[in-house]
Amino acid sequence: MEDLIDKLSKKYPDQTPIRVSRYVPNCLIGRTKVWKDEKETITATDTLYPAGSIQEYIRAPGYNENSTIKSRLYREVSRMTMFIFGMGAKFLLSGINTTLVHGAQNLQNVLSRPVHVPLLSYFNHNSCFDDPGLMGAILSPAQLADVKGMRWSVSATEIIFLNRPLSMFWSLGKVVPGVRGWGPRQPAIDFLINRLNEGSWVNIFPEAKVVESHSQERFKWGIGRLVAEAKLCPIILPVYHLGMNRVLPNPGPGESQPFVIRPGNLVTVCIGEPIDLTSLREQLREEKEEYVWSRITRELQDVMKDLEKRTRTLHTQNILNWVRRWHDARDLYSYILT
């Protein structure tokens, strides 16, 4: 690895210091570039989308009046991609597994917000299948096909943005590459702030990695920057879930990531009440930006800790009811796979 760092440092002097990723083996991080297994990944957000295509995703009227055939075609391919894979995820989470959603009305209420109001949801990260799996489970078919209302998200460049074809696929699903190690000031966060300013829905995993036990894991400041720097304070929706690491287990030390979905598991999703941090943003107006990011992040993490406790209680009750249903042999045929 040291030899490779020296080689890349000589070839790309503007990228120094090049360092080893703390999150992924065989991954090196420069100032504006990332290499996985000695190959450069995709990190740019502004080149992912064809000219004029971003306007096709804006909910407010009037933004796509001058759209081109190319941008409209891109929008429809994007709609098809999200719908097909969202419905596939729905089958996997609610067909061959069981997903119980608590607080679904909280999500439905914020999805019907005015077109200029941004929405920021944040989930705990329990499995590599959290998104799109949970989106398929909690959204209706019509919502999965709503190319303007569907969420924007971010994922690690060294995991899924490994080359141009993969990047095209994920961009069609409204996912952009983030770099773990670049901090809150990076293109992915800039891109998502712009989407919030358009009134869109942004979803983020603030732990920035898959975590089995979440209570002690510190949120990264990117979520604080999103809230602080959006022109209009977004509606914030916390979501906590349990059981996804059994649907798609996480690899152990030295193991590769499994890609086969496991059937017959129970997933509990708890959607919390919407949060309004407008007053907190006003209180922090004169503070230094990094303090503002950290203060908002800490506030949202405290909310998530409370939601985690509630979800664990609900998950235990759901498991007991689930086992009791099998034990009593009630409606056994209809639940044979779950």
Contacts 24+ apart (CB under 8 A), 326-332: none
Please name which of 18, 45, 43, 12 lies closest in space to residue 30, comparing C-alpha atoms: 18
Both 148 and 274 in a single domain?
A: yes
Confidence of residue 326 (pLDDT cuts 50, 70, 90): low
- Domain assignment present for residue 224? The answer is yes
pLDDT for residue 262 is more than 80: yes
- Residues 99-137 pLDDT 10s: 999 999 999 999 999 999 999 999 999 999 999 999 999
CATH of the domain at 74: 3.40.1130.10
- Domain assignment present for residue 50? The answer is no
Both 192 and 149 in a single domain?
A: yes
Structural domains of the chain, count: 2
pLDDT for residue 275 is more than 70: yes
Both 19 and 79 in a single domain?
A: no
- Residues 176-206 pLDDT 10s: 999 999 999 999 999 999 999 999 999 999 9
What mean pLDDT, rounded, does the chain reach?
92
- Domain assignment present for residue 264? The answer is yes
Outline where DSSP puts E strands in the chain.
19-20, 27-29, 34-36, 39-40, 98-102, 119-123, 153-156, 175-178, 201-204, 235-242, 266-271
- Domain assignment present for residue 48? The answer is no
Confidence of residue 325 (pLDDT cuts 50, 70, 90): confident
pLDDT for residue 171 is more than 70: yes
Confidence of residue 214 (pLDDT cuts 50, 70, 90): low
27 phi/psi in degrees, rounded to 5: -125, 130
Q: In whole angstroms, what is the distance from residue 131 CA to residue 143 CA?
A: 15
- Residues 225-256 pLDDT 10s: 999 999 999 999 999 999 999 999 887 766 77
Both 18 and 126 in a single domain?
A: no
* pLDDT score of 329: 58
Q: In whole angstroms, what is the distance from residue 334 CA to residue 338 CA?
A: 9
Both 144 and 281 in a single domain?
A: yes
Both 14 and 115 in a single domain?
A: no
What domain range includes position 17? 2-40
Contacts 24+ apart (CB under 8 A), 163-170: 163/39, 163/41, 163/42, 164/42, 166/42, 167/42, 167/48, 168/48, 169/81
Q: In whole angstroms, what is the distance from residue 137 CA to residue 38 CA?
A: 37
- Domain assignment present for residue 92? The answer is yes
pTM of the model: 0.92
- Domain assignment present for residue 45? The answer is no
Both 205 and 285 in a single domain?
A: yes
Both 126 and 182 in a single domain?
A: yes
pLDDT for residue 10 is more than 70: yes
- Domain assignment present for residue 46? The answer is no
Q: Between 337 and 114, whose confidence is greater? A: 114
* pLDDT score of 328: 64
- 259 is written with which tokens? 């890609």
DSSP assignment of 257-319, as one string?
A: PP-SPPPS-EEEEEE---B--HHHHHHTTTS-HHHHHHHHHHHHHHHHHHHHHHHHHHHHHHH
Q: In whole angstroms, what is the distance from residue 104 CA to residue 62 CA?
A: 31
Both 149 and 33 in a single domain?
A: no
Both 35 and 74 in a single domain?
A: no
Both 112 and 177 in a single domain?
A: yes
Confidence of residue 296 (pLDDT cuts 50, 70, 90): very high
Q: What is the mean pLDDT of residues 311-332?
A: 79
Quick count: other Cβ atoms within 10 Å of Cβ 105?
10
pLDDT for residue 338 is more than 50: no
- 208 is written with which tokens? 């920035």
Both 17 and 91 in a single domain?
A: no
pLDDT for residue 30 is more than 70: yes
What distance, in Å, lies between the first and last C-alpha atoms of the chain?
46
- Residues 43-91 pLDDT 10s: 999 889 998 899 999 998 877 777 889 999 999 999 999 999 999 999 9
Q: In whole angstroms, what is the distance from residue 284 CA to residue 291 CA?
A: 9
Q: In whole angstroms, what is the distance from residue 273 CA to residue 302 CA?
A: 14
Measured CA distances, 58 to 30, 82, 246, 315 (Å): 33, 16, 36, 37
Confidence of residue 331 (pLDDT cuts 50, 70, 90): low
- Domain assignment present for residue 285? The answer is yes
